[in-house]
Structure 1
């Protein structure tokens, strides 16, 4: 979105939108931000203008993503304070080093780094298994990890437990789209939800058994079935928009057979 569009946005409308998105009343927000509910009301209607400190305080209480905190600042008449650098920028060297160490250190198991829209930023060599046999059009930049996971011609066609993995990923995408106001996530959700899988019953509900701990990702790979679970990590105290939106997804073997297959 260009600077012109940013300056035409109303701070009050943006604040109200984020407050309602977080399902917080004016009174609750006022208590958390240590101001009066009347002042919050005046800010939303435009009868009062916030200071830069007030914008930052309200955004913090509402857990507004850094990208949108810049929008709130600009709408209130202030310059954005959170930079947005390319991952390959010289200033991001320490971040790249950290990512490289995490990815390499997780081998022989797959690991990848994605941005806010689940586009692939980096991956270790073990993650190449997810792209085996995938059509070239799905591997054009930017490669989308969610699309790879559910597309019928990619992992979606190799998942043994497709119905439960699909349900989980679509739920996760929908929640992320609602929480972040990221339009691309909503579009991605609708695209993935429209995929069809002939002969697969997508309405099968998985009832966890007494031995279940996590929902595994069970995928055919050659003549084997690999069973994995994932963890997702983010940077703890980012003040850069790009860094705040990076996520590191690591895949772990869910059984001894899978661990042995990766070790080989």
Structure 2
């Protein structure tokens, strides 16, 4: 896909006219039209301005740089795992996970693939009987049939809230992203589809989710929250 095709697709996805985007990026609508049709080639600086105006994640920005013939500007956490993150973010994540122990904490990428987990999360995973290695998908653990789904006492509520959060994040990456495709697959599941149809809660999920887990003969309550870091 050419740069202009990417640009037009994301402008449409953000529901912006050429005039809207041109004003936001500080360029003329005529030049923006030339960029979309391929009559003009963007500079790296122009791509940065347009990406900022569209509020594109670093992963998508890399795609636009590549389509314009430039090298990726941002390291990819998905391709390189934790080593692909900027050092400050990587070190901060490690510190957060370590300081959160003994309580479970996990870091995952934009597709919800686990990058690293702390000792508390590994202990919880062992108690639930699930192997946790880099690349395991957190949505798959919660939504697909298996030991985690069976262990969540309030699974219907948790499933809806997890999917709503994932939907909001998928809007950033577009309908063709791996996350959007995964969500679409789960929405075809009859049980999950019925939960979503009958859901009466607000569109935007709360910042905190209570997860009730069966551990042995007891039902334990865990407060779950998410923090997002900007990376590719």
Please, what TM-score do these two structures have when normalized by structure 2? 0.80
2:107: which partner in 1? 113
Contact 1:115 1:121 in 2 (8 A): yes
What is the distance in 2 between the residues matched to 1:173 and 1:119?
12
More helix by share: 2
Match of 1:99 among 87, 93, 101: 93
**Cα drift, residue 180 of structure 1:** 0.8
1:176: which partner in 2? 169
**Cα drift, residue 96 of structure 1:** 4.3
1:228 aligns with 2:227: no
**Cα drift, residue 48 of structure 1:** 2.3
Which deviates further from its counterpart, 172-181 or 60-69?
172-181
Higher Cα Rg, which structure: 1
What is the distance in 1 between the residues matched to 2:13 and 2:84?
36
Match of 1:64 among 56, 61, 69: 56
1:163 aligns with 2:166: no
| Distance change >3 Å, CA 81–CA 106, structure 1 → 2 | same
Which deviates further from its counterpart, 71-80 or 16-25?
71-80
Contact 1:70 1:81 in 2 (8 A): yes
1:83 aligns with 2:75: yes
Deviations 1:96-151 (A, max 9, x none): 44322211211221100111211111111221314534466xx5652111111222
Deviations 1:167-216 (A, max 9, x none): 1222222332232136321232234335566xxx73654669xxx99542
- Secondary structure of 1:171's match? helix
2:136: which partner in 1? 143
| Unaligned residue ranges in structure 1 (runs of 5+) | 1-8, 239-243, 246-264
2:13: which partner in 1? 21
Q: CA RMSD in A?
A: 3.0
| Unaligned residue ranges in structure 2 (runs of 5+) | none
| Distance change >3 Å, CA 135–CA 105, structure 1 → 2 | closer
